[in-house]
Chain A
Amino acid sequence: MSHSERMNSHSILAEGLRKRYGDTYALDGFDLAVREGTVCGLLGPNGAGKTTAVRILTTLLRADGGRASVAGFDVAARPAEVRYRIGLTGQAPAVDEILTGRENLEMWGRLYHLGRRTARARAGELLDRFGLGEAADKRIKHYSGGMRRRLDLAASFILAPRVLFLDEPTTGLDPRNRDEVWQAVRTLVAAGSTVLLTTQYLDEADRLAHQIAVLDRGRIIADDSPDALKSMIGGDQIDLVLREERDLPAAAETLAAVTGAAPTVDATARRVTAPVSDRIGALTEAMHRLREAAVEVEDVALRRPTLDEVFLSITGKGAAA
């Protein structure tokens, strides 16, 4: 299919984007296609090129090569059309500290040319929806990190954008605030917007996205559904921390038998890790066998693989931080 044919079914379409800074390519042949009404998680470590990709797609930065269209318009040729159809919450907070939450949203609304009354109504509506109703008339400098982020998100929702870009929306937030941001994103997605969200956490992409694209040094190295990606990299992990170091071989043997995969052993942390597919079954079985073998377990956890483990299984190397 040609670029223009694919533009009809995809809200975000990037082909061979390149951007160079000095000797390093921030993007080096970046391809991505996101279908209308879906969420794409762009996953990558620091410096992978996530922000560069978002800045090109939101018309803030010109690519050195390749092309991209968003909401059906070429970002380089028709930036004004694109700007009417997108919302952006960048990595750096773009709220006015001195103004109140309400004043911020009214200001942005008026800059979208909504008219005074519509802008005011929209601000009130968004403040309530993002759980900022009570803090609406407080200045931003008295807001917590999570509240600021939510206000920043609210600003990118003013026009109910067709395509929303969120650059690491939860980095630096504590778990409670992170949940609030996730909830806000889900609400928007339920209303039919397309979302591109960048993150350093597989967990986050897994919870929110229909599609996960893994970015490594300016290139997409994996692009699939969360389930497909997880089965490729072995799904969840089981972590065992033992009381005694001498029990490590026995525990590794047990985990290997239960999961059918080769566990990794971290001797200094007294930790054994293995990928699991049947989460609860594997956990129960392993705990049962370890008790029988009289291996004392200090801590046990089921978790998603870390970014490093994702990279390890895709590229055979850890994430190049």
Chain B
Amino acid sequence: MSALISPVVPRTAARRLGWVLSDAWVIARSNLIHLTRNPAGMASMLLFPIVMVVMFGYVFGSAMTVAGGGDYRAFLMPGMFAQTMAVGVTTTLVVVSTQATYGVTDRFRSMPVSQSGVVLGRALADMAGSALELAVLIGCGLVVGWGWHNGPLPALAAVGLLLLLRFSLIWVGIFVGLKLKPESAGASWMLMLPLTMIANTFASPAQMPGWLGALAEWNPLSATVAACRELFGNPGWSGGSWAAQHALALAIGWPLLITAVFLPLAARTYRRLDRV
């Protein structure tokens, strides 16, 4: 047996931060290895958006008109971007609930791992996965005739808004994932998809029945989509409501609000796993 190895407990704030970052990196890295070792999963993750673009862009798109005029596929792409970010929350959900069920979370908690490092690692891995999906989808969009028309800076800002939305949903994913069994976490996808459609993703809320239109307009997703259309310079008249008029502010406000509510909830649920 080798001599007892005892790591030094970090005393300074700088060292503690170093540990958080190192733990986060180790955890993110193992999650990224998962991605690369699952070619089938990766292919379907990347193919799914392409199939959706073809389906909505060509199959349904030929029958769609854009409120306010313009090309439907150019209208559609920002909706697809935001939908992909939103549905990405199911990845967080599934990983979190699987690890909690199968002893991995227990092992983390029985070790002197920094808990913020665990969460940060999870966030890094999820953001990397979603950024990859977004990149593929942007490529797809360019092929089908979508593009940005206001210059690179507003386009980058739009990408930032999309990633901000995804970031805010990590905390929802961790909070809900700690409460669900992996089976139901997997099925959450079926709930998320319709939720992303009661929005301005595929059609303008102005074209929907009154109550549904109102719901769609206030859907946080709609704010991100409308703001992206504005920043990319894509078609889409979003209607005259307050929410539609202030899309940019809401596209920042909603994710911040979601983070402000769910980050503490997720942290609290994680800390209180010892009371279950």
**Known contacts A59-B110, A83-B112; is A94 also within 8 Å of B104 by CB?**
yes
Indicate which residue in A58, A84, A98 contacts B6 across the interface (CB closer than 8 Å): A84
Tell me, in angstroms, the Cα distance from A279 to B22 when the chains sit together.
58
Chain B residues in 8 Å Cβ range of A98: 33-34, 37-38
Whether the Cβ atoms of A112 and B107 lie closer than 8 Å is no
| Minimal beta-carbon separation of A84 from chain B (angstroms) | 5
Chain A residues in 8 Å Cβ range of B58: none
Whether the Cβ atoms of A59 and B274 lie closer than 8 Å is yes
Chain B residues in 8 Å Cβ range of A287: none
Chain A residues in 8 Å Cβ range of B19: 113
Tell me, in angstroms, the Cα distance from A60 to B112 when the chains sit together.
12
The reply on B30 being an interface residue by CB < 8 A is yes
Chain A residues in 8 Å Cβ range of B3: 160
Chain B residues in 8 Å Cβ range of A91: 103
Chain A residue nearest to B15 in the complex (CB): A113
Indicate which residue in A88, A158, A162, A188 contacts B106 across the interface (CB closer than 8 Å): A88
Chain A residue nearest to B108 in the complex (CB): A111
Tell me, in angstroms, the Cα distance from A84 to B5 when the chains sit together.
10
**Known contacts A90-B106, A94-B102; is A111 also within 8 Å of B5 by CB?**
no
Whether the Cβ atoms of A84 and B9 lie closer than 8 Å is yes
The reply on B2 being an interface residue by CB < 8 A is yes
**Known contacts A88-B110, A111-B108, A118-B5; is A61 also within 8 Å of B274 by CB?**
yes
Chain A residues in 8 Å Cβ range of B107: 88, 90, 94, 108, 155
Chain B residue nearest to A92 in the complex (CB): B103
Whether the Cβ atoms of B103 and A80 lie closer than 8 Å is no
The reply on A256 being an interface residue by CB < 8 A is no
Chain A residues in 8 Å Cβ range of B4: 159-160, 162
Whether the Cβ atoms of A94 and B103 lie closer than 8 Å is yes
Chain B residues in 8 Å Cβ range of A122: 2, 5
The reply on B143 being an interface residue by CB < 8 A is no
Tell me, in angstroms, the Cα distance from A26 to B26 when the chains sit together.
36
List A residues 94-135 near B (Cβ within 8 Å). 94, 96, 98-99, 103, 107-108, 110-114, 118, 122, 125
Chain B residues in 8 Å Cβ range of A103: 30, 33
Whether the Cβ atoms of A59 and B109 lie closer than 8 Å is yes
Tell me, in angstroms, the Cα distance from A139 to B109 when the chains sit together.
24
Indicate which residue in A111, A155, A160 contacts B1 across the interface (CB closer than 8 Å): A160
Whether the Cβ atoms of B274 and A62 lie closer than 8 Å is yes
Whether the Cβ atoms of A58 and B110 lie closer than 8 Å is yes
The reply on A86 being an interface residue by CB < 8 A is yes
Chain A residues in 8 Å Cβ range of B33: 98-99, 103
Chain B residue nearest to A111 in the complex (CB): B113
The reply on A301 being an interface residue by CB < 8 A is no
| Minimal beta-carbon separation of A289 from chain B (angstroms) | 51
Mark contacts of A143-169 with chain B using CB atoms, 8 A cut-off: 1 yes-contact digit, 0 otherwise.
000000000000100111010000000
A selection of 7 A-B contacts at a CB cut-off of 8 Å is: A60-B274, A62-B275, A88-B110, A93-B103, A99-B30, A108-B111, A111-B111
**Nearest 9 pairs of A and B residues by beta carbon:** A92-B103, A191-B1, A94-B103, A94-B107, A88-B110, A113-B7, A62-B274, A83-B112, A110-B26
For the complex with contacts A91-B103, A92-B102, A96-B30, 14 further pairs of A-B residues with Cβ separation under 8 Å are A60-B110, A62-B274, A90-B103, A93-B103, A94-B103, A94-B106, A98-B37, A99-B30, A99-B33, A113-B22, A113-B112, A114-B7, A122-B2, A159-B5
